[in-house]
Amino acid sequence: MTGTLVVVGLGPGDPCYLTADADDALHGAEAVYGYGPYLQRVPIRSHQVHYPSDNREEGRRAAAAIRHAVRGANVAIVSGGDPGVFAMAAAVCEAIENGPEEWRTLDVAFVPGITAMLAVAARIGAPLGHDFCAISLSDNLKPWPLVERRLDAAAGAGFAIALYNPASRARPRQFGQAIECLRRHLPPTTPVVVGRAVGRPDERVEVTTLDKASAVKADMATLAIVGSRETRVVARPGRHPLVYTPRAAAEISA
């Protein structure tokens, strides 16, 4: 007998961003696995057990949750934001691909959540209003030269770029290095939106430009959106500016 595994996105923070589907999935779970701080956002229901683990434990957490479900329980694994964006959904798929044959028969489902780049974008207008991409600056799972190659390609091709995992205590300089890399392709006045802890009580969102962006403090709770050449800032009296990328784009001049 196998149970079920559901991989649930909690959204960026405030419970108002938790979808009704995610709430249902959490209600139905007997066991909930996740990174400690994310798990703290989930109220413990009666007959439910929580299994917190460390940030870098994604592979082991996925395997533990799968084993638990295969033994017959209804298990949930949570991620902040969306579980498919630099998070647990891929870790679960990897574990199933590499695990015992029996794991492939498990009933597994994925419940989407509002990812950080959409939460930050919504605070300020529409910086992702035209073609965009998302790049994680963490080099825990890929070499840094590959990050730079992708930044070069994305900026050169005219995408607005959402930068996840811009810095951490172990990687204090990577946000600044990424900004320097983008400056080779984009004008100094390119708008940059920096959102920290969006959807949480200590939320902060600021608008700056590419030439000043490396001075902004970025940490693990920060997401930056670097505009394209087309991205515009609309000043408004007495209100924060609107940052948006128009729906139409011209050919890139070489």
Residues 200, 201, 202, 206: what is their CA dihedral angle, to the nearest 10 degrees? 70
Segment 152 to 191, residues that bind ligand SAH, using CB under 6 A: 164-166
Selected binder of ligand SAH within 220, 229, 232, 242 (CB under 6 A): 220
Task: Give the range of 23-31, 58-66, 74-82, 92-100 binding ligand SAH by CB under 6 A.
Answer: 74-82
Among residues 239, 251, 219, the alpha carbon closest in space to that of 125 is found at 239
Decide whether 70 or 224 has the Cβ nearer to ligand SAH. 224
Q: Is 86 in the site for ligand SAH (CB under 6 A)?
A: yes
- Indicate the residue whose CB is closest to ligand SAH: 81
Q: Is 223 in the site for ligand SAH (CB under 6 A)?
A: yes
Binding residues with ligand SAH: total (CB under 6 A) = 25
Decide whether 40 or 105 has the Cβ nearer to ligand SAH. 40
Residues 244, 247, 250, 254: what is their CA dihedral angle, to the nearest 10 degrees? 50
Segment 10 to 29, residues that bind ligand SAH, using CB under 6 A: 12-13
Token pair recorded at residue 165: 């995992």
Segment 98 to 137, residues that bind ligand SAH, using CB under 6 A: 115-116, 120
Mention every residue, 6+ apart, whose C-beta is less than 8 A from residue 224.
162, 163, 166, 175, 192, 193, 194, 195, 213, 216, 218
Q: Is 222 in the site for ligand SAH (CB under 6 A)?
A: yes
Decide whether 4 or 79 has the Cβ nearer to ligand SAH. 79
Q: Is 34 in the site for ligand SAH (CB under 6 A)?
A: no
Selected binder of ligand SAH within 6, 18, 80, 106 (CB under 6 A): 80
Residues that bind ligand SAH (CB under 6 A): 12-13, 79-82, 85-87, 115-116, 120, 164-166, 195-200, 220-223
